[in-house]
Amino acid sequence: MVCRKFEGQMRLVAVFRRRTWSIRFASKVKKEMKISGAQVKAARELLKITQPELAEACGVAQRTLRRFETDEGLVDASNLDKILAELERRGIEFTNGTGIGVRLNFEKAAAFARGIAKPRNESDR
């Protein structure tokens, strides 16, 4: 079990159960989500990025990402935290209502794209 500070007062608790990670946010509202490799792969497809691109952006090995997405192996909780943080920074939201899901928040994705574009424009001047 890993407890880490996560965006302000929320703490992220990750527990491995049956080939999926159970993500629980310790706050006033109890919210539990199970994140699978398939969800990470779907998120990557929504963003139209490759495994090597995501692995480099997260700072994890490409092999680690590939093994998690294909359910070939376990991923360390700290690596999962890095992967989820990068995907959420790019606008991905993981949902667990009556099922599991992944969606792209266009406003967050646009803000991420503007943040990437700014330094490039400033360096050209």
Confidence of residue 116 (pLDDT cuts 50, 70, 90): confident
Q: Considering the chain, what is the average pLDDT of its residues?
A: 75
**Is the model's pTM score more than 0.75?**
no
Give the C-alpha separation, 15 to 77, whole Å. 8
Delineate the domains of the chain, giving CATH numbers in brackets.
Answer: 37-124 (1.10.260.40)
Q: How confident is the model at residue 125 (pLDDT cuts 50, 70, 90)?
A: very low
Torsion angle defined by CA atoms of residues 29, 35, 44 and 124, in that order, rounded to the nearest 10 degrees: 50
Per-residue pLDDT reduced to its tens digit, 3-59: 344 444 344 444 445 555 555 544 333 345 678 899 999 999 999 999 999 999 999
Other CB atoms within 10 Å distance of the CB of residue 98: 5
